[in-house]
Structure 1
Amino acid sequence: MKISISMYSLNATVQKEKWTTIDFIEYAKSISLDGVELLDIYWKDNDKDNEIKQVTEALRKYNLSVSAYDVTNNFVKESSEERAQEVKKIQDGIQVAKQLGTNIVRVFCGDLHDDLTYEDGQKWIVEGLKNCAETAEKEQIYLAIENHGLLAGKSEQVEEIIQKVGSPYVKSTFDTGNFLLVHEKPQQAFDRLKKDIVHVHFKDFREKDPSETVNGFRSTEGVELIGTVPGDGQVDLAYIVEGLKAINYDGWLSIEYEGFEDAKVSNEEAVQRLRNLLK
């Protein structure tokens, strides 16, 4: 298994120090990573094509691979025109992934809003992913659904969507921490989804202390969770790593830190802990 870091894992530093994607790549090289996870939200809209070219040159220079390219989509939109735009976003992301040399595009299902439920949004999610899967199959790029937020955040929901889409190129980005937001044990989620995992987010959360003033992530039952260095929270990461070894997973483990401590220090500690687990 290979280790990468999501650029979002350094988001606090990216914003504070005005990092470009190339700055992030140089940082990743400095801490001896195997690769990087890149996101669509960090491109400069007016110069995306040129920036992608510069990024691919930097990846070659530093001998780094892209573990996944992340598209920030949302299929839970009421109008067919809006949903078509989300399909186009993923189709464009597939082409960017090809340029970056990765065969993984991380995708979302959608966000809850107003009185919508998972059942309300599921048909739109499945329809959208079926449309995207046609391009994914042609280009041999996996669309890896992240269990993100409160919609399709449960393993049974992710599994159901994968089954309903019915494409060998629609699989799972298994986010170890996000299951806590829907009150599902990550170990049980792993056992359900392990056959579909093509990408892993290595993440952890802890419950917020009453004395803390920061705003964390609120779960489906109103519990507030704070991002932490993997190993300091509620996720049994050793169980998941050993489970991945048992199924001979040879893909990427990508660190995604979402806490409030220094992002560089926290990510570097996470890398070391993950390396120790992989020994």
Structure 2
Amino acid sequence: MENLIFSAFGDELTASFRDQLVGLKEYGIHHIEPRGIDGKNISTLTDSELQELRKTLDQEGCGVSAIGSPIGKYSLDEDLSIHLEDYERVIRAAKILGTNKIRMFSFFIPKGENPRKYRDRVFKGIDVLLNRAVRENLLLCHENEHGIYGEKVAECVDLMENFGDTMKFVYDPCNFIYADEDNRAAFSALKPWVEYLHIKDATKEKAICPAGEGIGYIPEILGELKQQNRDIFLTLEPHLRVFTGLNDLSSNHEEILMRYQYPTAKEAFTAAVNGLFSVVNNLK
């Protein structure tokens, strides 16, 4: 499966960046999407701190698949200019750590509102971010995410049809399940723009589970991507333990939730790795 390359969010394994890399290598994963670094967000690190990360990456023989940035994950009511300093640090992170890809979002929409009402404001903000990225020869990759403009398939397609020449897509099957979208239809609609995947799955009851055990259509999606003549990162983002903010599922899901709870981050991560490896190893 040479064109399907494994990466991961190491901060779901441990806080220490070096320990993240060491832990990932134990699974045979030699790329990382850095997000949480020694208790700090990647968007807050200084050039000096980023240079130290680069040394650690080189020492451990690991590469960076993309920067797991929070750019665009804030309310439209906030002045974008106050986040541009963080954006510049994310750009520096990409340059220093040796990747051209930056994960980003399309701004939180007021709850209960029709996202199309805010389309012009969203597009204006994305224009600002994209213009800066293009000047640096960097590729912004939009992730579908709960509560933002690009939560549902229709708005994600809208974004890609308008910005797809300079912005690509991070496909997250689990997030589409939470948006009550069918992943067969979602992937079919967005396939022309998919740059890489975040690998997490969920059941029909919306319990997050290892890849292939839910309704995320992951084996079928990876089967299609395997046929493409390009390298594609599969970035594990397990979320298998019950994290703060994921505790609002109804009580009748308790039995299903318990099936996918793990006593340690290591065991949760191992289950996620085994799930993905099983799917990939069974591709025809």
TM-score in terms of structure 1 length: 0.81
C-alpha spacing 1:125/1:40, structure 2 compared with 1 (3 Å): farther
The CA deviation at 1:169 is 2.6
The CA deviation at 1:87 is 4.2
- Identity percentage of aligned residues: 21
- Cα distance in 2 between the residues matched to 1:167 and 1:190: 15
Q: Are 2:212 and 2:279, in contact at CA under 8 Å, matched by a contact in 1?
A: no
The answer for the alignment partner of 2:60 in structure 1 is 62
The answer for the alignment partner of 1:222 in structure 2 is none
The answer for the alignment partner of 1:179 in structure 2 is 176
C-alpha spacing 1:25/1:227, structure 2 compared with 1 (3 Å): same
Equivalenced residue count is 253
The answer for the alignment partner of 1:142 in structure 2 is 139
- Cα distance in 2 between the residues matched to 1:91 and 1:49: 11
C-alpha spacing 1:40/1:138, structure 2 compared with 1 (3 Å): farther
The answer for the alignment partner of 1:34 in structure 2 is 30
Letter paired with 2:125: G
Q: Are 1:43 and 1:51, in contact at CA under 8 Å, matched by a contact in 2?
A: no
The CA deviation at 1:157 is 0.9
1:118-267 mapped onto 2 (5 Å cutoff)? 118-151=115-148, 152-164=150-162, 166=163, 168-208=165-205, 225-260=206-241, 261=262, 262-267=264-269
RMSD: 2.3
- Cα distance in 2 between the residues matched to 1:189 and 1:30: 34
The CA deviation at 1:233 is 1.9
Kindly indicate whether residue 280 of structure 2 is the aligned counterpart of residue 278 of structure 1: yes
C-alpha spacing 1:238/1:47, structure 2 compared with 1 (3 Å): closer
The answer for the alignment partner of 2:7 in structure 1 is 4
Q: Are 2:111 and 2:147, in contact at CA under 8 Å, matched by a contact in 1?
A: no
* Unaligned runs of at least 5 residues, structure 1: 209-224
1:81-92 mapped onto 2 (5 Å cutoff)? 82-92=79-89
The CA deviation at 1:207 is 4.8
Higher mean alpha-carbon deviation, 250-259 vs 122-131, is at 122-131
* Unaligned runs of at least 5 residues, structure 2: 242-261
User: 1:140-163: CA deviations, max 9, x gaps?
Assistant: 211000001133112221121122
The answer for the alignment partner of 1:103 in structure 2 is 100
- Cα distance in 2 between the residues matched to 1:167 and 1:195: 9
C-alpha spacing 1:113/1:161, structure 2 compared with 1 (3 Å): same
The answer for the alignment partner of 2:16 in structure 1 is 20
SS in 2 for 1:24: helix
- Cα distance in 2 between the residues matched to 1:22 and 1:101: 17
Letter paired with 1:5: A
Letter paired with 1:97: A
- Cα distance in 2 between the residues matched to 1:87 and 1:123: 19
The CA deviation at 1:246 is 2.6
SS in 1 for 2:198: strand
C-alpha spacing 1:3/1:113, structure 2 compared with 1 (3 Å): same
SS in 2 for 1:69: coil
- Cα distance in 2 between the residues matched to 1:226 and 1:259: 9
SS in 2 for 1:38: coil
TM-score in terms of structure 2 length: 0.80
- Cα distance in 1 between the residues matched to 2:184 and 2:266: 28
- Cα distance in 2 between the residues matched to 1:190 and 1:115: 25
Higher mean alpha-carbon deviation, 47-56 vs 102-111, is at 47-56
The CA deviation at 1:124 is 2.2
Q: Are 1:122 and 1:161, in contact at CA under 8 Å, matched by a contact in 2?
A: no
